[in-house]
């Protein structure tokens, strides 16, 4: 089983329950892990046997640009889009963090983690 991880993807987006959050936006951090059978890439040195990192990033960016109230909803869209675009994925995990969430107290980030397994 091959595993690809993209760590600390930083994207400025406009998600949140409060109107101000959706207007002003804030910084988000996304971590993605996918697992699949990458034997062809491992043995044949062939890009067609793997999942292109740029394409994973493109899915993340596309879904992050669609406004939502909840980061749980955004994370679910990212996983669903990855699974639809790359049917060879056997396992996907997304951790989506809102940096400096608007809550009382000193909190660096709030993170939602979702997984999908086939």
Burial class, 86, CB count within 10 angstroms (exposed 0-12 / middle 13-18 / buried 19+):
middle
- On whether residue 46 sits in a domain, the answer given is yes
Would the pLDDT of 68 be above 90? yes
Residue recorded with tokens 């993170």 = 111
Is there a contact between 66 and 77 (Cβ–Cβ < 8 Å)? yes
Distance CA 95, CA 115 (A): 9
Q: Which residue has the higher pLDDT, 46 or 19?
A: 46
Look at residues 94, 103, 93, 108 and name the one whose alpha carbon lies nearest to residue 27. 108
Q: Which two tokens stand for residue 102?
A: 């608007």
Q: Domain total for the chain?
A: 1
Look at residues 51, 45, 70, 49 and name the one whose alpha carbon lies nearest to residue 5. 51
Structural domain harbouring 15: 2-100
- On whether residue 20 sits in a domain, the answer given is yes
Query: Chain centroid to CA 4: how far?
Result: 12
Residue 47's CATH number:
3.30.1130.10
- On whether residue 85 sits in a domain, the answer given is yes
Q: What is the pLDDT of residues 46-66, one digit of tens each?
A: 999 999 999 999 999 999 999
Q: What is the pLDDT of residues 72-102, one digit of tens each?
A: 999 999 999 999 999 999 999 999 999 999 8
98 noted as active-site residue: yes
Residue of 61, 69, 90, 98 marked catalytic: 98
- On whether residue 109 sits in a domain, the answer given is no
């Amino acid at each position: 089983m091959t595993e690809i991880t993209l760590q600390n993807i930083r994207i400025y987006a406009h998600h949140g329950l409060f109107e101000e959050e959706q207007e002003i936006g804030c910084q988000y951090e996304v971590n993605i892990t996918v697992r699949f059978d990458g034997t062809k890439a491992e043995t044949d040195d062939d890009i067609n046997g793997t999942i292109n990192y740029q394409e994973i990033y493109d899915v993340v960016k596309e879904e992050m640009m669609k406004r939502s109230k909840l980061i749980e909803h955004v994370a679910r869209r990212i996983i669903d889009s990855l699974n639809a675009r790359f049917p060879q994925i056997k396992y996907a995990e997304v951790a989506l963090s809102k940096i400096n969430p608007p809550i009382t107290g000193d909190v660096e980030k709030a993170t939602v983690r979702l997984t999908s397994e086939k």
